[in-house]
Amino acid sequence: MFLIGQYDSPFVRRVAIALRLYGLSFEHKPWSTFGDADKIAPYNPLRRVPTLVLDDGEALIESTIILDYLDELVGPDKAMLPRSGVERRKHLRICALATGLGDKAVSLLYERVLRKEQLALWVERCRAQIGDVLGVLEAERAKVTTPYWLGTRIGHADIAVACVIRFTREAHPDLFDAARYPALAAHADRCEALAPFKEIVQPLAPPKG
């Protein structure tokens, strides 16, 4: 199977890191949604990444759906998301907050690099949403005493948060201050020290307007 998308996307990166942690082999197609949209279109008409193309040609889109497939593939004992219950809902909530933050951080970046005249109302809304989510995640992570969000074993929530924090730091350094969000900074640093995070990384290369 092969994964489409560049690793400066927090969504592509979280999928690639999960693949590596699961020990699943894959080929990487570092296609850009801007420069390589025509290559992506046959697999994903939305021309979005990540897109994971399976060996039989089936194409899975959106990181949440791809990770759900991977969890099923490796089985419940190895899956990085609880199968059911309160723990699953907690994990999914953190994932949703992190990926929502990522969406806003990407939108804000595009607003800056692709628009000659930024829409002030949209910029302020995105900045407010990013700040509010960082505040919630910081407060919740500060209460956690285990190495990872829900225990001693890394999960999808941990990966999502770390990938989004890295993207936000690079795209909007004024919005993430480690002194203001020490628990999140420590969490991201712990994840980034792991081998898969060191291997699967790419400096941010935003599109040009």
List, for residues 83-130, the tens digit of each pLDDT value. 899 999 999 999 999 999 999 999 999 988 888 788 889 999 999 999
> What's the rounded mean pLDDT across residues 31-49?
96
Percent of the chain surpassing pLDDT 90: 89
Position 12 confidence tier, pLDDT thresholds 50, 70, 90? very high
Domains of the chain: 2-79 (3.40.30.10), 85-194 (1.20.1050.10)
**Residue 208 above 80 pLDDT?**
no
Quote the pTM value: 0.96
Q: Reply yes or no on whether the pLDDT at 209 is more than 60.
A: no
CA 140 to chain CA mean position, Å: 18
**φ and ψ at 200, to 5 degrees?**
-100, 90
**CA neighbor of 51 nearest in space, from 13, 85, 4:** 4
d(CA 103, CA 108) in angstroms, rounded, equals 9
**Helices 120-142 and 182-192, axial angle in degrees (round to 10):** 80
Model confidence at 207, pLDDT cuts 50, 70, 90, reads confident
Distance CA 187, CA 82 (A): 20
